[in-house]
Amino acid sequence: MKDGQESVYANYDKFAIGDARNLYKLRIGEYNGTAGDSLSYHQGRPFSTKDRDNDIAVTNCALSYKGAWWYKNCHRANLNGKYGESRHSQGINWYHWKGHEFSVPFVEMKMRPFNYRSISGKRRRSTPPE
């Protein structure tokens, strides 16, 4: 994630999404990083969209916060929020870094197998970015 001046990251040693029957529930492991751990709040939550409200809030979080996500009641992280929107919780948020009032202008989610082979063919383990 970048805000124009600062770059931060959140690394989780495990990341898995359930199947359709399990409503694409989010499973993550231990956090390491500089952004603060905003994703653990969503642990075990099913994926919600504006037409499939699977969160526990009274309102439909996906509709209220402009993006599909693993909402709970509603979010601490919302990387599918509305780009550039700074009104409370409406934008792309990572609460433990910039709060709910700042829409993060640049985010990426990168995934790879825990054990993978590098281009040279050597077995490697995933490590946090530098």
How much of the chain, in percent, has pLDDT values that exceed 70?
88
Name the residue range of residue 20's domain.
1-109
Q: What is the predicted pLDDT for the residue at 87?
A: 74
Q: Which two tokens stand for residue 90?
A: 């409406």
Tell me the residue ranges of DSSP E strands in 18-92.
26-28, 31-33, 77-78
Q: What SS3 state is found at 42?
A: helix
What pLDDT digit, counting tens, does each position of 34-92 carry? 999 999 999 999 999 999 999 999 999 999 988 899 999 999 999 998 887 777 777 89
Q: Which two tokens stand for residue 125?
A: 């383990």
Q: What SS3 state is found at 69?
A: strand
- Give the residue-averaged pLDDT of 89-106: 90
Identify the CATH number of the domain in which residue 92 sits: 3.90.215.10
Residue 65 exposure: Cα atoms within 13 Å on the Cβ side: 31
Look at the chain and report how many structural domains it folds into.
1
Tell me whether residue 119 is in a domain. no
Q: Which residues contact 25 (CB under 8 A, 6 or more apart)?
A: 17, 18, 44, 45, 46, 47, 70
Tell me whether residue 75 is in a domain. yes
**Contacts of the segment 62-70: beta carbons below 8 A, 24+ positions apart:** 64/89, 65/89, 65/90, 66/90, 69/42, 70/24, 70/25, 70/26, 70/42, 70/45, 70/46
Distance between CA 55 and CA 49 in Å, rounded?
9
